Homo-oligomer: A and B are copies of this chain.
Amino acid sequence: MAMATTPHSLLLQNPNTNFLKNPKTHFATIPMTATRLTTTSTTLNPAKPISVKCSATTTHIQDRSPAQSESQDRVFNFAAGPAVLPEHVLRKAQSELYNWRGSGMSVMEMSHRGKEFLSIIQKAESDLRTLLNIPDEYSVLFLQGGATTQFAAIPLNLCKPDDKVDYLVTGSWGDKAVKEAQKYSNPKVIWSGKSEKYTKIPAFEELEQSADAKYLHICANETIHGVEFKTYPNPKNGLLIADMSSNFCSKPVDVSKFGIIYAGAQKNVGPSGVTIVIIRKDLIGNAQPVTPVMLDYKIHDENKSLYNTPPCYGIYMCGLVFEDLLEQGGLVEIEKKNKRKADILYNAIDESKGFYRCPVEKSVRSLMNVPFTLEKAELEAEFVKEAAKEKMVQLKGHRSVGGMRASIYNAMPLAGVEKLVAFMKEFQAKHA
């Protein structure tokens, strides 16, 4: 049986392998593009040796560590972030780490003002603009740090200390954002899901927004609690600000509905240490006097994110991921894949007759982070341990909520989710 998975490939089942033990070899991807060929073809036969001339890679072959010789032996990494990255993006980064495209140096060694790095950051921005269809009146900034730095930067750049701002709190990150905003503005929590353990998003018409709030802030996807906005509220003053750290580039978004979209890279688009800020240009230029220069959007906008050294290697990795997302057909295709993966997992939970439970209201369940518990809580530690033996790691829930959490970002292969679901059924059969 063959089923389409991407515009670039077909998935075929291999009757000669045991799916649960070897999902990567059980399904063989027949690539339609060169990159996919080089990346996935060997999963058909990872053990088959070939003889090649490595004239220019002598030291590389001699120098490779034990890890290198085990490089087919990937785990399925369900971590919430830093998280799994696309395999062939990692392969490409590996192949050019020592000498980027004949430049004679690694991207890590490049002057951020040299023509090589400028080409990298400009292409990254251009590809991101294509992916999200970002209007010209928005600036794209590649900044140091994570979303928590932006929790301060946003009120510092948009407010005077006594300005009112509204926060809709649907999880721990939204809660942290409002606490930081208290230092630089006058925030009001217009709704919080805390009393219901962050399992819901309210009906927007029920929200009592402040008439004179400068903006309304939401966390579009709560990584810890697995609550995701499917539609967005309309702020009274029209200025919606969203932390999209954990669902950035996981689906199409109408950027024009937002004043600011910001995202730490380390969930869906790169390694930790880069935060992307997409901001409507008319909002730039009013930072409070106490704003550290590195948190002032005007400085970074005027200098195209090069006021001083940015996190160059992280930006390079984000660029490789953006290229990959475009190759896969863009965010419409990515969303289809993410929905399929999430459906398989949520269905397995809902059809377990209560053996597994997801506390989140169905209409707002995240496509990225799937928290679940076991009816027999005493089995949760064993579940995590047994899964790890099957090379499915980082399934333990966040320490603040317990249970399990499977993060299934863009780069988590369908085979990873299918293997997890097969394992869940086996585990249930053993303990029911």
List the interface of chain A (C-beta within 8 A of B). 37-39, 41-42, 46-75, 77, 79-85, 87-88, 90-106, 108-112, 114, 144-146, 148-149, 151-153, 156, 180, 183-184, 264, 266, 270-274, 289-290, 292-295, 308-314, 317, 391, 393-394
Contacts and interface: CB of A to CB of B under 8 A. Distances in A.
Nearest to A74: B104
Given A104-B391, A271-B313, A273-B273, 5 more contacts: A37-B62, A41-B59, A57-B69, A84-B105, A153-B292
A71 B98 contact: yes
A100 B67 contact: yes
Tell me the number of copies of this protein: 2
Given A97-B90, A151-B293, A309-B266, A73 B102 contact: yes
A60 B391 contact: no
Contact of A308 (B47, B61, B148): B148
Looking at A60, A66, A81, A153, which has the most chain B CB atoms within 10 Å of its CB?
Answer: A60
Given A91-B59, A146-B144, A109 B82 contact: yes
Q: Which of A90, A93, A144, A156 has the most CB of B within 10 A?
A: A144
Given A83-B109, A90-B106, A48 B56 contact: no
A84 B104 CA distance: 11
B63 A55 contact: no
20 contacts: A42-B62, A47-B55, A54-B61, A60-B71, A60-B91, A65-B101, A67-B96, A67-B101, A73-B102, A75-B103, A75-B105, A81-B309, A82-B110, A87-B98, A114-B394, A144-B145, A271-B312, A273-B313, A311-B314, A313-B313
A308 B400 CA distance: 14
B68 A56 contact: yes
A48 B57 CA distance: 10
A236 B68 CA distance: 55
A77 B105 contact: yes
Contacts of A82: 108-112, 309, 312
B105 A74 contact: yes
Contact of A65 (B61, B95, B156, B274): B95
A108 B271 contact: yes
A104 B78 CA distance: 12
A132 B289 CA distance: 37
